[in-house]
């Protein structure tokens, strides 16, 4: 099976469309957009971003999911993506499973695979995703203002706990373990939430490095500070159980890989945000407020939590993920 | 040095512009285009696409050059690119040199770095480049018609010979060796030629897999055949010397890594093509013609050359490049 066979069999799953008349099979794809585009790129490397023994379908899902999460954080609507796939060998079973995970998520959000590159080397997947910016303009990190509320979608810490479980460093009831492992291996990007929240949010980011680190990026970009109420942070029953059993509070704040949206909005938007949350059946929690100064304070039992680190850095010796 | 420092120091070399108001430092970049876009992606992996000991500046140059070459083959004008860089460690000297090679080529063709991802792992570079399609529409592989001429820019085989020289498998005069090594390590993408030829060409492809393989792609996509005159193929003094000394004619036809443009055009375009060649000081050679059937025939001394393989396939056991 050569590289052309691989493309034909496993990756020609998006037919050409009026807006993407040329895709796989020429020197470049051609797309036609009538407005501003949001463009993002993310690489997943075996042993760093996913375990060497991860299911190929999960790898395909996650490689696209992390990019869709970035588009969601701009409030953008997914349109097209390219896939750069580096493989040690061409294994039909692996490719079929990888392709199925990728395709299922792509179809769910209507994003089309328009091109790519297949090369031989250590397993690595780079996806670049392109979306249409929302009509009112993309939601940047720099828009948070003192007095704004801070909100978070879904729940924090499940993937970080899932990684502990995967490594055999934590145990929970099997059902709670499954929830955490699912969040680790196949996170659901908050695409529809990003689109719906775009007109309401003053700043937005997706939570990939860790809640504290990613909120920190918003604060830096906006030149503001924040006070967060630990008790208001959204935790699943799995994380809550783990905390009740003496687990350290830093884990759900710094573990990362959540792919939830962290956003700020003026208090006047609270009702509209609640309506969005209800219509998407996705919890949105108000967890703090933006302040003019004082840095990032996460208050628990009346005292600020002290974190050793805010989140992941892939170039730290201890920064490796699974 | 963490990943944010790396981006700040080495990769924030394209300032925001009116058409790309958001670039590095948010969840995605925002670009605004008023017409169709050409999008391409290519990965270079150490030990496969460049030697482990290649100069970092050359790696940076080549990673962008191969993508610019794909845009050129569509007749597109380079606009924006993203960089996914996977590094074993953060080495400031390596990064500074890599960045300088990348930046020099980016500035030469006015393409802006708008985003990326920096991760830890085996050295690998994936660049996705976006260009504006030419006003008359992109030049596809599928447009070749019987009776069209086949043309090639520049010269073929220098990089393939350069690889032999790099491996110690061929020797030439030092000046000829330098020419070949330069073509191997730092190919010049034919961006301006692609733009200028777009209104004239019926089909176009860049020569990366090898002349025979890439012309083969055009023939397949167009449903036509071709006769090529070996004696009309453009060879540098280095390749000519090497052929005169008994080197096999297959090398410049199948070696690849040329990054020249192969294109077809009706005979009525000959004069206009000559004008383009002269204005760019770039030789353009007419090397054959498109026929309705008979496959691809490369005629030398009145007989068709027989090639063992047409070009590179990264998943063949013997398909490795340096």
Mean pLDDT of chain B: 91
- DSSP code of residue B41: E
User: In the β-sheet with A203-207, what is the strand arrangement from edge to edge?
Assistant: A203-207, A260-265, A149-153, A284-291, A225-229, A296-300, A303-304
Measured over the CA atoms of residue B208, residue B213, residue B218 and residue B221, the dihedral's sign is negative
**Whole-Å CA distances, B271 to B72, B152, B183, B267:** 21, 15, 29, 9
Interface test with A, best of B28, B50, B85, B92 (most A CBs within 10 A): B28
Closest C-alpha to A151, from A213, A215, A97, A105? A215
**Whole-Å CA distances, B106 to A143, B129, B188, B207:** 31, 11, 12, 21
CATH number for the domain that contains residue B80: 3.30.1330.10
Among the ranges given (B91-100, B224-233, B276-285), the one the predictor scored with the smallest mean pLDDT = B91-100
Domain count, chain A: 2
CA distance B262 to A213: 49
pLDDT single digits (tens) B228-266: 999 999 999 999 999 999 999 999 999 999 999 999 999
| Nearest residue of A to residue B45, measured between CA atoms | A121
Q: Is residue A90's pLDDT more than 90?
A: no
| Report for A303-307, B1-5, B313-317: range of highest mean pLDDT | A303-307
Does A153 lie in the same domain as A110? Answer: no
Does B98 lie in the same domain as B226? Answer: no
Does A288 lie in the same domain as A163? Answer: yes
Does B254 lie in the same domain as B160? Answer: yes
Q: Is residue A243 part of a domain?
A: yes
Q: Could you tell me the residue range of the domain that residue A38 belongs to?
A: 3-132
Q: Is residue A37 part of a domain?
A: yes
Does A33 lie in the same domain as A169? Answer: no
**Cross-chain Cβ contact A121/B48 below 8 Å:** yes
Does B152 lie in the same domain as B114? Answer: no
Q: Is residue B49 part of a domain?
A: yes
pLDDT for res B12: 79
Does A146 lie in the same domain as A295? Answer: yes
pLDDT for res A10: 83
Min CA distance, A172 vs chain B (Å)?
31
Task: Tell which of A102, A132, A162 closes a domain.
Answer: A132
Does B178 lie in the same domain as B283? Answer: yes
Task: Tell which of A78, A108, A132 closes a domain.
Answer: A132
Q: What is the ipTM of this complex?
A: 0.85
Q: Is residue B146 part of a domain?
A: yes
**Cross-chain Cβ contact A138/B28 below 8 Å:** yes
Q: Is residue A96 part of a domain?
A: yes
Confidence of residue B90 (pLDDT cuts 50, 70, 90): confident
**Cross-chain Cβ contact B119/A89 below 8 Å:** no
Helices H / strands E in chain B, number of each: 10, 12
pTM of this structure: 0.90
Q: Is residue A127 part of a domain?
A: yes
Interface test with B, best of A5, A11, A27, A121 (most B CBs within 10 A): A27
Does A297 lie in the same domain as A151? Answer: yes
CATH number for the domain that contains residue A283: 3.90.650.10
**Whole-Å CA distances, B90 to B6, B74, B114, B120:** 8, 36, 21, 9
CA A294 to chain centroid, in Å, comes to: 28
pLDDT single digits (tens) A174-232: 999 999 999 999 999 999 999 999 999 999 999 999 999 999 999 999 999 999 999 99
Does B126 lie in the same domain as B257? Answer: no
CA distance B19 to B31: 6
**Cross-chain Cβ contact B114/A39 below 8 Å:** yes
Residue A89: other Cβ atoms inside 10 A: 9
The residue written with tokens 């490095």 in the block is A209
Judge whether B256 and B213 are in contact, CB under 8 Å: yes
pLDDT single digits (tens) B2-46: 777 877 888 878 877 778 888 777 888 888 887 899 999 999 998
| Nearest residue of B to residue A207, measured between CA atoms | B27
Does A300 lie in the same domain as A164? Answer: yes
């Amino acid at each position: 099976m050569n590289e052309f066979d691989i493309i034909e069999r496993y990756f020609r799953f998006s037919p050409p469309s009026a807006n993407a008349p040329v895709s796989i099979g020429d020197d470049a794809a051609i797309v036609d957009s009538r407005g501003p585009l949001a463009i993002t790129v993310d690489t997943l490397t075996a042993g760093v971003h996913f375990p060497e023994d991860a299911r190929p379908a999960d790898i395909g899902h996650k490689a696209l999911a992390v990019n869709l999460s970035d588009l969601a954080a701009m409030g953008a609507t997914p349109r097209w993506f390219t896939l750069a796939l580096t493989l040690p060998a061409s294994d039909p079973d692996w490719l079929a499973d990888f392709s199925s995970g990728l395709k299922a998520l792509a179809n769910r959000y209507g994003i089309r695979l328009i091109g790519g590159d297949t090369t031989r080397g250590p397993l690595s997947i780079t996806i670049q995703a392109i979306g249409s910016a929302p009509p009112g303009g993309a939601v940047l990190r720099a828009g948070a203002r003192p007095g704004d509320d801070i909100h978070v979608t879904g729940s924090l810490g499940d993937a970080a706990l899932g990684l502990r479980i995967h490594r055999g460093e934590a145990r929970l009831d099997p059902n709670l373990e499954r929830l955490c492992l699912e969040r680790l291996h196949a996170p659901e990007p908050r695409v529809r939430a990003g689109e719906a929240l775009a007109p309401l949010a003053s700043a937005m980011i997706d939570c990939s490095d860790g809640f504290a680190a990613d909120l920190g990026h918003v604060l830096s970009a906006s030149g503001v500070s924040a006070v967060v109420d630990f008790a208001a942070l959204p935790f699943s029953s799995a994380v809550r159980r783990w905390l009740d059993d003496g687990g350290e509070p830093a884990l759900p704040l710094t573990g990362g890989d959540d792919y939830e949206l962290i956003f700020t909005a003026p208090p006047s938007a609270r009702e509209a945000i609640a309506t969005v949350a209800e219509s998407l059946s996705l919890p949105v929690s108000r967890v703090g407020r933006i302040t003019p100064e004082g840095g990032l304070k996460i208050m628990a039992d009346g005292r600020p939590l002290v974190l050793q680190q805010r989140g992941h850095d892939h170039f730290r010796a201890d920064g490796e993920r699974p």
